[in-house]
Amino acid sequence: MTAAVLHVTPDSVPANERVFESECLVKSNMPVNNDYRLLILDAPAEILNCTPGQFFHIQCPVRGGHQPYLRRPMSIYGYFPEKGELQFLYKIAGEGTAALAELESGESLNVVGPLGQGFHIADDWQNLLLLARGVGLATLAPLALEAQRLGKKLTAICSARSPELLMSIDYFRDLGAEIITVTDREGTSDLAHLQGVIEGLIAGPGIDAFYTCGSNRLLKLLQELGAKHGIPGEIALEQQMACGLGMCQCCVRSFRAENGIVHKRVCKEGPVFDLQEAMGW
């Protein structure tokens, strides 16, 4: 199944305390719509002890005119120890992902992980709200699976430019989530409409925690609603990285703290952070 698994000891360890470098075999690498592709790897059990929100550092292949130098951090779309599968949902956005898209079944891909600190679901949080757009939904997909495992009620507000670009809808629905879709084309994805939808959920069944990923405007909206209604939350941040292990300081960002502004590494202290600590960009 895999060529080798090497235990890595970085500057820090993730929430589940074990990091590996592994050669995984590509099971499939197919488009899911005009923008995104789903990469499924045949992976050893050692690297599938993941937490929702963690990521892997992927060594993109050198192909033709594509010669990516650094690894690419990629959030986990799915991890299934019972099937020996590790999944990534990605968009071709540069040289690394363009090279990744050329991988075929049976080829090898080197990955390091799982890395970073993942999402947290408190025992007394029963009604969870997930709000994300585009590929941000990929990062939150494992959270939906964990919510089902814990018996939590999940509402997923899924946003996209158009209905055909909405992703993970069936996946979230199969996990028992209530689905609300909003799109630019239908004129339902603006902040005023989203605020009204979320305020309605708060007034109705109630919301115990917010979760989001990647979008500055969605972050600010949830921060305002969280502060107004006393609702906690978490955000998974995206950031360029070099080492992915906390050593190079490439991914440092500013965060709010009780005593002022502090600086944290997205790869080590994150990529998941307290919603109110995160600063817009």
Annotated binding site for [2Fe-2S] cluster: 243, 248, 251, 267
**Cα-based angle 8, 92, 15 (whole degrees, multiple of 5):** 30
**244 contacts 270 by C-beta, under 8 angstroms:** no
Q: How far is CA 119 from CA 9, 66, 235, in A?
A: 22, 34, 8
Q: State the Rg of the chain over Cα.
A: 18
Task: Give φ, ψ of 197 to 5 degrees.
Answer: -65, -45
Binding residue ranges: 72-75, 96-97, 243, 248, 251, 267
Supply 122's token pair: 């408190």
Question: Could you give the residue ranges of the DSSP H alpha helices within 183-267?
Answer: 191-203, 216-229
Binding residue ranges for FAD: 72-75, 96-97
